[in-house]
């Protein structure tokens, strides 16, 4: 129900405290913004809108690249995200069965040993998009021993597309939380909070190592994307090398892909890793729980044969 106020009486001034002569006096002229200030205002407003767009445009992997740009990005060692962008474009063209993309296959294979984890991670995914290339299969098998758990996991997932279950243990590991330890002894000068979402390589804590002018800051980062389950330190606390810093639960997409892969190649010994995701808990999305149930059933049926 809306409340309507009664209309004011025509004989009553809406400004009863203002004398009639004051109300009828000419209002003072308002100060107008100068042309220079108006130009500065519009430029500032334009930049506020433009800068986020330019950032998005330069980091969005969905932006289509010409073949010339693809070559430039694929070889841009100064900007690894450009290499990732090019790899994503190649992967998408693979899924469309674009045969013209095969000219860059040797470079895709070569990037399996690139020094930046994120590039190798993307590269492992891309090589799984064309299972007709023996070189991709061989490169993925080598990536199962990569120092990055995400690269190992993506390589294992891509191998499933080749009908190869060699990476089953790495896929099982994708369902496990990551325990992160202090790389050196030091004093905590900054730390994140439990239950915070975090990306791969995201900062969890900073340690001050050493004293005085010789001190340095060491960053503790998450090897996987996900959510911080627990944090074992606080600001100002001293921590020893190798001590537990945090436990990070794997991200939803990582769990989803691992469960789908184990649906195809999982063995009874993988069930303890699958069962926790069958529980009806707020932090477990319905699609994850449903996939875990299907994976569990498929593994048990396979074990009976």
Question: Residue 150 burial by CB count (10 A; 0-12/13-18/19+): exposed, middle or buried?
Answer: buried
Domain with residues 52-173, CATH architecture = Alpha Horseshoe (1.25)
Mean pLDDT computed over every residue of the chain: 84
Buried b (16+ CB within 10 A) or exposed e, 192-220: beeeeebebebebbbbebeeeeeeeebeb
Query: CA–CA separation, 209 vs 105, rounded Å?
Result: 44
Question: Domain boundaries in the chain?
Answer: 52-173, 178-250, 252-305
Residue percentage of the chain with pLDDT more than 90: 61
User: Residue 196's pLDDT is what?
Assistant: 92
User: Residue 65's pLDDT is what?
Assistant: 81
pLDDT of 114 higher than 60: yes
- Residue 142's pLDDT band, with cuts at 50, 70 and 90, is very high
- Classify domain 178-250 at the CATH topology level: OB fold (Dihydrolipoamide Acetyltransferase, E2P) (2.40.50)
Q: Which pTM does this prediction carry? A: 0.76
Here the contacts of 273-279 (C-beta below 8 Å, separation 24 or greater) are 273/172, 273/175, 273/176, 274/175, 274/299, 276/175, 277/175
Calculate mean pLDDT across residues 41-61: 51
Highest mean pLDDT among 93-102, 158-167, 192-201, 209-218: 158-167
Least confident of 14-28, 125-139, 154-168, 278-292: 14-28
Looking at per-residue pLDDT, the higher value among 299 and 30 belongs to: 299
Query: CA–CA separation, 162 vs 295, rounded Å?
Result: 20
Compute φ and ψ for 136, nearest 5 degrees. Answer: -65, -45
Using one digit for the tens of pLDDT, what is the confidence trace for 151-191? 999 999 999 999 999 999 999 999 999 999 999 999 998 88
pLDDT of 41 higher than 70: no
């Amino acid at each position: 129900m809306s409340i309507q106020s009664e209309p004011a009486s025509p004989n009553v001034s809406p400004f009863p405290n203002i004398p009639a002569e004051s109300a009828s006096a000419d209002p003072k002229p308002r100060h107008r913004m100068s042309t220079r200030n108006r130009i500065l205002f519009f430029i500032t407003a334009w930049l506020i809108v433009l800068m986020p767009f330019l950032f998005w445009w330069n980091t969005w992997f969905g932006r289509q690249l010409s073949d010339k740009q693809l070559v430039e990005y694929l070889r841009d060692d100064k900007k690894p995200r450009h290499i990732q962008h090019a790899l994503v474009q190649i992967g998408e063209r693979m899924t469309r069965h674009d045969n013209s993309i095969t000219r860059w296959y040797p470079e895709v294979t070569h990037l399996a040993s690139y020094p930046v984890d994120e590039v190798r991670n993307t590269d492992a995914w891309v090589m799984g998009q064309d299972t007709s290339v023996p070189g991709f299969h061989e490169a993925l098998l080598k990536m199962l021993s990569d120092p990055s758990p995400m690269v190992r996991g993506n390589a294992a997932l891509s191998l499933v597309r080749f009908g190869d279950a060699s990476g089953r243990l790495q896929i099982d590991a994708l369902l496990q939380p990551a325990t992160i330890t202090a790389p050196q002894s030091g004093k905590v000068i900054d730390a994140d909070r439990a239950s915070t979402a975090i990306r791969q390589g995201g900062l969890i804590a900073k340690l001050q190592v050493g004293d005085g002018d010789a001190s340095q800051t060491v960053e503790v980062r998450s090897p996987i994307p996900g959510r911080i389950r627990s944090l074992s330190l606080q600001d100002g606390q001293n921590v020893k090398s190798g001590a537990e810093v945090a436990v990070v639960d794997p991200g939803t997409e990582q769990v989803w892909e691992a469960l789908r892969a184990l649906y195809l190649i999982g063995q009874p010994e993988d069930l303890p890793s699958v069962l926790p995701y069958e529980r009806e808990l707020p932090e477990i999305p319905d699609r994850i729980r449903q996939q875990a149930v299907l994976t569990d059933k498929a593994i048990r049926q396979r074990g009976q044969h």
